Amino acid sequence: MTLRTRRPLAAVAAVSAVLLGASACQGEETAGRTDAASQAKGGANPEAALAAAFEKTSDVKTAHVEMTMTVPGPQGGEITMSGVQGWDPGLLDVTMSGAALGGGQPGAPQEIRMLMVDQAMYMDMGKAAAAEMDGKRWMKMDLAELAELAESAGKQGGADASGLSGAMNENMNQNPAESLAILLESPNIQHVGAEKVNGLETEHYKGTVPVAEMIESNKAFDNLTEAEREKLATTIETAGVSTYEIEVWVTEDDLPARMDVVMDSSLGEMEVRMDLSEFGTKAEVTPPPAEETFDLAEMMAGAGA
Sorted by where each starts, the structural domains of the chain and their CATH numbers stand as 3-26+43-303 (2.50.20.20)
Return d(Cα 58, Cα 29) in angstroms, integer.
8
Return d(Cα 69, Cα 86) in angstroms, integer.
19
Query: Residue 199 — pLDDT band, cuts 50, 70, 90?
Result: very high
From its phi and psi, is residue 83 left (phi > 0), alpha (psi between -120 and 50) or beta?
Answer: left
* Amino acid letter for position 9: L
Interior angle at CA 174, CA 172 and CA 210, nearest 5: 50
For the stretch 220-259, pLDDT in tens is 566 667 777 777 777 777 767 777 899 999 999 999 999 9
Q: What is the CA radius of gyration of the chain?
A: 19
Residue 246 is predicted with a pLDDT of 92
For the stretch 44-100, pLDDT in tens is 799 999 999 999 999 999 999 999 988 777 667 888 999 999 988 888 999 998 876
Predicted model pTM: 0.75
For the stretch 110-121, pLDDT in tens is 788 999 988 788
With contact defined as beta carbons under 8 Å apart, do 114 and 123 qualify? yes
Q: In what order do the strands lie in the sheet with 256-265?
A: 190-197, 200-210, 243-251, 256-265, 268-277, 62-71, 77-86, 91-97, 111-117, 120-124, 138-141, 293-295
Return d(Cα 253, Cα 257) in angstroms, integer.
10
